Amino acid sequence: MTGERALILDFGGVVTRTLFETHDISERALGLPPGSLTWRGPFDPATDPLWVAMQNREITERDYWLARTREVGRVLGEEWTEMQTFVRRARGAEPELALRPEARDAIVKVKAAGLKLAILSNELDLFYGVEFRKRFPLIELFDVIVDATYTKILKPDPRAYELVLSELGLPREACVFVEDQKKNIEGADAVRLPYVHFDVTRPAEGYARALGMLGL
């Protein structure tokens, strides 16, 4: 099997562990007492009405994280207006702590098999910052990175998917797209891009399915 096939990954939640999963790391980095961060998103929606509102499309994903950013900043007595401030302060010193073990294994396996790798993100540098990305483990293994921070084309806009396919130089049927947000899965479905709807609470299952679809 060669680079004539590709694994296309969303970044936040798929390649990285979510901020919901790393409250202990965030609290330690920010100097907060254990248990200070209580919102759990998909891991316990009952604790997180704002997450439910996002899933109901009453607010956007960017709205959600901006609200959490401002909230955590206020706890520290600071005014935070950009998501990347939260990420840099909470995990920027050690980007490797954010990498999902399952993502690491899949990325290495795909690359070893000679397939292509791509990231299709709405806010890679917007949320994480350029320096975080540059220091992120395995980022050099990706053939293509399409980031709406620069393209200004947000999933589920069909043009976002067409752009990553164009940069890969592959037909859609030769690719598998992995994404955790339902609206972005619907976008992939609309352009007939094979996909895996990634459940962040069951990451091993999502990657196993994606690799299986690629014949690995």
Q: Choose among 124, 191, 117: nearest CA to 151.
A: 124
pTM of the model: 0.91
Which residues of the chain fall below pLDDT 70?
A: 1-3, 92
Q: Which position has the token pair 């798929």?
A: 14
Distances 112 to 17, 53, 141, 191 between C-alpha atoms, Å: 23, 41, 10, 29
Phi, psi of 128 (to 5 degrees): -95, -25
Domain ranges of the chain: 6-16+99-213, 23-94
| C-alpha torsion angle, residues 91, 92, 93, 99 (rounded to 10) | 60
Q: What is the pLDDT of residue 1?
A: 44
Q: CA torsion, points 38, 100, 149, 169, in degrees to nearest 10?
A: -150
Please give the C-alpha separations between residue 134 and each of 103, 123, 198, in angstroms, as whole numbers.
17, 15, 25
pLDDT at residue 17, rounded to an integer? 95
Percent of the chain at pLDDT > 90 equals 83
pLDDT of res. 3: 64
DSSP 147: E
Tokens encoding 88? 């840099």
What pLDDT, on the 0 to 100 scale, is given for residue 18? 94
Q: Is 3.40.50.1000 the CATH number for 6-16+99-213?
A: yes
